[in-house]
Structure 1
Amino acid sequence: MNAPTRIPEGYRQDHQGRLVPEDQIKPVDQLRDDLVLSLVERGRQLREQLKAFKADAFSEIQGLIDQSAQEYDVQLGGKKGNVQLVSFNGRYKVVRAIQENITFDERLQAAKELIDDCLREWTADARPEIATIVQDAFRVDQAGNIRTGQVLSLRRLDIQDDRWRKAMDAISDAVQVTGSKSYIRLYERVGDSDQYQSISLDIAGV
């Protein structure tokens, strides 16, 4: 990796990497450059502050969970799961959320075949609503991906057919957790309302 070019005083580097004397650059172009560099640097500092806040928040929330568990002589496993913490006056709420990224392996196709067998028989007996629910679950999203939530929701249907139950087992076995994302969300209850409003930490939402 090449070291960054040292820019002599009185010069600026253009988009082609050339050093240009500042007295050859229009004042408005210099002002624009100064503004962009200043905003980017301040944005980078905010990003680092947010990273530090997130790390501290997760650590402190986990510490509270561990302390609470000790009071009841309970050993908690892992650091997964969503947690809601509410202030004593009920005005503020902090949510720790862990969102797992789920995909399916090849066993999902076996589940689909078993389900299709059920549908061919059931639709012959005038049960088209079940077929619609199931076929919708296996539709892909705009990016061409299986909608995991829709497929997993099929397991909540109370159907006792052995083929269906075997298909649900295949869906469960096909689940693969490929990663996770963690979030800290802050909420405030405004006025006398029972509804919490998000305290946005997203620059687009403030």
Structure 2
Amino acid sequence: MSNQDTPAGYMRDAKGRLVPEHLVKPLDSLMDQAVRALIGHAEALSAQIARFRGHSFDDIASFLSIAADQYGAKIGGAKGNITLTSYDGTLKVQVAVADRLTFGPELQVAKALIDECIVDWSKGARDEICALVEHAFRPDKEGQVSPDAVLALRRVEIGDDRWQRAMEAITDSIRIVGSKSYIRFYRRANAQAPWQAITVDLASA
């Protein structure tokens, strides 16, 4: 039940039981108030950011449509990546489209081949490779492996035929299951100054 279902003069505990307010410890009551106030602000800000993101993409789409009509050409790079800058070169908006990857059953073949290599290789100089492999195939709490960590293995040059076949299996295992668009904002003092990101997410603020 939500807090709106709680009768006046009571608080609902984590088990759903009604507790008279005078029996709730003052510190617990104060913490409850603080948490509810913060969550209220966070939800409002989250909704505002979501609206801003939607408006931003709409504005960019409108500009691209006007540009295409005027010049008969498409602006933007591969997969919809695009950079827009102000006339004075001090403001920049970037749209980046990143693929979401998953792996097919070929990844298990790659893991088996790599395990064979590790068993045969002597320890010492190749310890860092073992650590890299262990990190690459370690699942997260959702049981998924990190695409970045797995794909990093392909940058390791090893002549062993099994390693080479494992890298081919990793390549064959890649499945693109969708994409996500990101929009980032930058400003700088003048056209020669380095770009500074304008933070719009709480984690990076």
For the aligned pair, the TM-score class normalised by the smaller chain equals 0.5 to 0.7
Task: Give the match's secondary structure for 1:180.
Answer: strand
Q: Which residue is 1:143 aligned to? A: 138
For structure 1, which runs of at least 5 residues remain unmatched after alignment? 112-131, 155-163
User: What is residue 35 of structure 2 aligned with on the other side?
Assistant: 36
Q: Deviations over 1:3-55 (max 9, x none)?
A: 88721111111111111111222322221111100101110111111111111
In structure 2, the partner of 1:178 is 177
SS at match of 1:99: strand
Give the alignment's Cα RMSD to 1 decimal: 3.9
Match of 2:142 in 1: none
Q: SS of 1:17's equivalent?
A: coil
Distance 2:66 2:168 in 1: 38
Query: Structure 1 vs Structure 2: percent identity of aligned residues?
Result: 33
Query: Who is 2:59 aligned against?
Result: 60
Aligned-pair CA distance for 1:153: 7.0
- Which position in structure 1 is the counterpart of 2:84? 85
User: 1:22/1:109 Cα in 2 relative to 1: closer, same or farther (>3 Å)?
Assistant: closer
Give the alignment of 1:18-167 within 5 angstroms: 18-74=17-73, 80-105=79-104, 139=133, 141=136, 143=138, 145=145, 147=149, 149-150=151-152
Amino acid in the other structure paired with 2:83: Q
Q: Partners in 2 of 1:21 and 1:188 — Cα distance? A: 54
Q: Distance in 1 between matches of 2:108 and 2:12?
A: 56
Map Cα deviations across residues 157-179 of structure 1 (whole Å, 9 max, x no partner). xxxxxxx9xxx999877642112
TM-score (norm 1): 0.65
153 and 76 in structure 1: CA distance in 2 versus 1, 3 angstrom threshold: farther
Question: 1:37/1:54 Cα in 2 relative to 1: closer, same or farther (>3 Å)?
Answer: same
Aligned residues: 174
From the CA coordinates, give the structure whose radius of gyration is larger. Answer: 1
64-73 vs 173-182, greater mean Cα deviation? 173-182
Give the unaligned 5+ runs of structure 2: 111-125, 140-144, 157-163
